[in-house]
Amino acid sequence: MESHPASRNDGRTAGRRSVVPLGLAVVRGASMRPTLAPGDRLLVRYRRTPRPGQVVVGRFADGTVAVKRAVEQRPGGWWLLSDNTADGVDSRHRGVVPGDDVIGVVLARLWPRPRRL
């Protein structure tokens, strides 16, 4: 009998289920306009390293959790900016966000009109 990769059980995953770390976030404020609006509901993938340009949920040093755009990696972490630079607080005010404090990557807006980000 031939063994196929999809049906092979090498014992490493026997008895365990894969859990995808997903969650929800709600946008507060207008700092991410026009991409996101206050009240938008977002699907977030936790424990995922962002790529430059992706929208993320991050925690600044003062404990503020915010939805921002990951612009680039710098020494010490990520530079996170608002899409609407005239509104909101971001890395221009609070500095770099350590990689461990980038909580997750936003996959999609679920409400009011679903779309991938």
pLDDT in tens, 36-95: 999 999 999 999 999 999 999 999 999 999 999 999 999 999 999 999 999 989 999 999
Select from 64, 46, 51, 53 the least CA-distant residue to 100: 46
pLDDT at 20: 80
98-108 as b/e, with b when 16 or more CB fall inside 10 Å?
Answer: eeebbbbbbbe
CATH class of 26-116: mainly beta
What's the pTM? 0.83
Dist. CA 112–CA 108, nearest whole Å:
11
